Every structure is written in C-alpha cells, then in structure tokens.
Structure 1
Amino acid sequence: MATCHVSDIATVLSRAWTAGVDRIIVTGGSLEESKEALTIAETDVGVHPTRCKEFEESGDPDKHFQALLSLAKEGIEKGKVVAIGECGLDYDRLQFCPAEIQRSIFSAGVAHSFTGSAEDRDKLLSINNMYIGVNGCSLKTAENLDVVRSIPIERMMIETDSPYCGIKNTSAGIKFVKSTWPSKKKEKYDQECIVKDRNEPCLVRQVLEVVAGCKGISEIGQLSRTLYHNTCRVFFPQDLDSAADSLLAGHDPQ
C-alpha cells in the first residue's frame, strides 16, 4: 500500500507539547496492538469491542485471554501499563463484531468517548470513582453539549482519541473553539500543517475550549489543571504529588 506522506510522528508530538499536552497514553485495540503500544509509550492493554472476534479466531479463547492478562501484568510490573482498555460494548458498528460475541467477552466497564444521554451520564456518575471521558464525538450536537454541561468537572477527563473523533466544522461545539492549526489534505502534506480531517493530540486544547465554553467557564487554566489532576488520579497515581506541585506552580497541561 502506498503512503501519502512521510511519517510525521515527531512533528505531531512537537505540536502536542507546544499546545500544552503533558502526557500521552497509547491505546491498544487488540492483543498485537497492545504489544506494539508497550514498545512506544505508557499504554492500556485490552481488546476493543469491535475486535472481539479475535478471541474465537485465535482457536483458543481462554489461551488468548491469558496472553492478554500476562501482557497486562508484565506491563504493570514495568510501569508501562496504566489502564485496562479499550473494552466494553460497541453496538454502533456491529458489522465488525456481533453483539452476542461482545457480550460473551465483556465483563467490565469504561466511560470513554462518552456520547450518551443525561440518564446515561447520571448512571455513570452514581458509580464511585467513575470518570467520564469527553472528546470531539461528545460535542457534536446541542443535546451533547447540554449533557456535558452537567458533568461535574471533578468527574471529567478530556481526550482526543486521535486520529479519530475530532471536532468538525459541523459540530455544535465549534463555536467555542479558539485554537486552530493550518491544515492540508494528506496528498499535499506539509510538516507545518496538520493533516486535514485527522485528529491529533494537540487538538485536545479544542476539547478544553468547548468544555469551558459550554460550561461558561472563563478561567480555562484552572479548568485545565483540574482535568489534568483527574487524569493523574486515575492513570498516574504515583505522580499525584508532582501533579499537585504543577498545579500550584500554575502550569497548564492539557
């Protein structure tokens, strides 16, 4: 398969650091992706709901699960695995994996890329220590914004889920976006620009701006610090003291 442009990972990361991103967690969507992610950065280990067929296709679902579990344990011991995921139920794309297979594999929950109703939000918030992850997919409609508006800041995290789930010009939240980057189609790649319609870590700042806008928060720095602290509490508890120091110093990570 031909590529449209050279690898631009260094440029993407540079834009992220410049935008205020402080940490990046790589997501593994399958056993093999989880193995690869462990060689790159801090990561989670899991199988995305749409990939659940891999358990049956392996020929031995129990052995496949044990391999996944061993990988997670090894990564935790090395300080590289910070969460279990992605996992859950995904009924929007059943063409990839039937619901019955997903249910047979799934035994835990995660509130990532939240697009649910007010009722869904309240059910999640009724669970102790449950946080709700918000990205561009969470901010598409006026109804989405109403739901996000009532998520307590201390129970929220922001994310990109890049290269997916970017904030589109048709999104209801676009009116709150202040930070933009020049973009070009991938066929006209330029390291000074982001690739059109490809989400990047730096664009988490846009999610922050929309959350602040829909909640009527003018002090975006304090919002950023609170959300960062939430993230450290769940994924980097060993660094909570340094995160608190960062907050006191006025550093604004996203």
Structure 2
Amino acid sequence: MRLVDTHCHLDLEAFDEDRAQVLARARASGVERILVVGFAPERWESALRLAQSEPDVAVAVGLHPTEAARYNDEVEAGIREAAMSPSVCAIGEIGLDYHWMTAPAEVQRRAFLRQIALAREMDLPFIVHQRDAAEDTLDALQEAGPPHRGVMHCFTGDLTYAERCLAMGMYLGIGGAVTFRKATDLHEVVRSVPLDRLVLETDAPYMTPSPHRGKRNEPSYLRFIVERVAELRDTSVEEVAEATTANAARLFNLDIDGRAA
C-alpha cells in the first residue's frame, strides 16, 4: 500500500522529541510522501529545513488566514521566494477563518485572493483552509475565476457543498473527521463523489482519527483514514490507496516516487 499524506505539520514543536521515529512509523505504514504545510514565514523555514534532510517530504508555503493581518508586499515576496525551492509543490494553506477571526473578513479575503493569484503565477496548486466561512470561501473562489487547481483542506461539508467545490475544479482533502461516528454528512460525501477527486491527509498533529482521537496525530495514522474511506465506498483499501496516491501525484505534480516532477 502506497499512500501520500497531503497535509501535515511535521515541523511543529509537537514532534521535536521523536520526529525521526514518527517518520519511520509513517514509512513503515506505507506513507511514501508527506506534504508539510508552512502557514507563516517562520514555518516556511522550518518546513524547508525538514525537506532538505528528508527526501520524502514536500512543502507548501503560504499565509494562513489567521495570520492575514500580516499580509503585505514583503510577505508576498517571501512566499514567492520560498516557493522557488524545488521542495515546494503548493501554496498554502490559505483561505478564510471566521472562527478565530484574528483579522477582518475583508483583510482575509484580500490575502486569500492575492495568494490564489500568486499560485497561478507560479503554476502551483493551492490548499484552502476554511472555517465557519463556507459561503464566503466559495464566493472568493468564484471571484478568482475557476476552474482552479487546488484542494479543500480538512473537508467536512455536506454533499451540496462538495459538489460546488468540485465544480470549481477543487479536490477534497479527507482526514481524520471521516472516522468520527457522527460525521454523517462527510460520510455521504465520501460515498458519493468521484474517487478521482479525493486526496488523503492527517493534518498532524491535529484532527487525530479514531481510535486515537484525543492524542497527538501523526502521518502513520493515515491508514485509519484510508480504511474508513474504503469501508464507506464498499471497496478495497488497495483501490482507495492507489487512486488517492495517483490523485495526489497529479494535483501536486509529484512523480511516481513522490519527488517533485
């Protein structure tokens, strides 16, 4: 079984004590490629350092919506410069977050749209974070001019919302929430949408799947997500693994060995 974890934060301090062991467990479980998402300038640096020492780590760089108040021409230039690294395969995570609301909605939207434009300029896909901002996120994506090349990270919406995202060209990032018993809307989405539009992610150290919910997440737990997706779709784990790995390679321009093409 070959898997790609398309979204995690393995550079965070949560892994400082045992990062090498976490990586070893991921590889032993079939995770061949890990996309570490740097969501602020200090995180771009740590993610790129990790990729320099670990050839199966790829990187995304961007400014998270909770950091949107920091966005300016200098930050944008920093993203552009970081994205020129051969380890970088996406811009992200970017989007809108109305749960924490650390910046006004219009400030978040402006940073979101500028980073979508930057992703297009650099011919890179982008990773969307949205929390409590579903309609405004779709509205911004529409303003930016679909079809898009990107993924809705940590997707937990219903089937109608999924279909609207897919219609704009987006992939759906399926993570630990799919293993939660009460996530019935997400279960319907996973059963219903085309398999070639799903990618898998852990968001480690966050969003830990069952049966480890409440503990630190890690990329090796991707196996619980692929197993649940296979169960919901009434198909084999091997089929889901093969399809979602191919999807990740196509979306993020990764070759068969998981290295940047």
2:187 to 145, 162, 174: 145
- Matches of residues 92-111 of structure 1 in structure 2 within 5 Å? 92-94=99-101, 96-107=102-113, 108=116, 110-111=151-152
Q: Distance in 2 between matches of 1:161 and 1:68?
A: 21
Gaps of 5+ in 2: 1-12, 52-57, 117-127, 129-150
Which structure is higher in strand share?
2
Q: Which residue of 1 aligns with 2:175?
A: 135
Deviation at 1:92, TM superposition (A): 2.5
- Matches of residues 25-44 of structure 1 in structure 2 within 5 Å? 25-41=35-51, 42-44=58-60
Deviation at 1:98, TM superposition (A): 3.1
1:84 to 76, 86, 91: 91
Bigger Cα Rg:
1
Residues 192-224 of structure 1, C-alpha deviations (whole Å, 9 max, x = no match): xxxx6100000000010111111111x211221
1:22 to 20, 24, 32: 32
- Report if the CA contact (8 A) 1:113-1:138 is conserved: no
Letter in 1 for 2:68: C
1:234 to 245, 251, 261: 251
Q: Which residue of 2 aligns with 1:54?
A: 70
Q: Distance in 2 between matches of 1:233 and 1:14?
A: 25
Q: Which residue of 2 aligns with 1:191?
A: none
Letter in 2 for 1:231: A
Q: Per the alignment, in what secondary structure is the counterpart of residue 94 of structure 2?
A: coil
TM-score (normalised: structure 1): 0.73
1:163 to 182, 191, 205: 205
Deviation at 1:100, TM superposition (A): 2.7
Letter in 2 for 1:131: Y
Q: Distance in 1 between matches of 2:108 and 2:210?
A: 30
- Matches of residues 115-130 of structure 1 in structure 2 within 5 Å? 115-128=156-169, 130=170
Q: Distance in 2 between matches of 1:199 and 1:20?
A: 16
Q: Distance in 1 between matches of 2:70 and 2:154?
A: 23
Gaps of 5+ in 1: 56-60, 170-179, 184-195, 244-254
- Report if the CA contact (8 A) 2:179-2:224 is conserved: no
Structure with larger RCO (C-alpha < 8 A, sep 6+): 2
Deviation at 1:101, TM superposition (A): 1.9
Q: What is the aligned length?
A: 203
Q: Distance in 2 between matches of 1:31 and 1:4?
A: 18
* Root mean square deviation of aligned Cα: 2.3
Deviation at 1:157, TM superposition (A): 0.4
Deviation at 1:150, TM superposition (A): 1.2
Letter in 1 for 2:202: T
Deviation at 1:153, TM superposition (A): 0.7
Deviation at 1:125, TM superposition (A): 1.4
Stretches of 4+ moved more than 6 A in 1? 3-6
Letter in 1 for 2:217: N
Q: Distance in 2 between matches of 1:12 and 1:105?
A: 33
Q: Distance in 1 between matches of 2:174 and 2:94?
A: 17
Deviation at 1:99, TM superposition (A): 2.1
TM-score (normalised: structure 2): 0.71
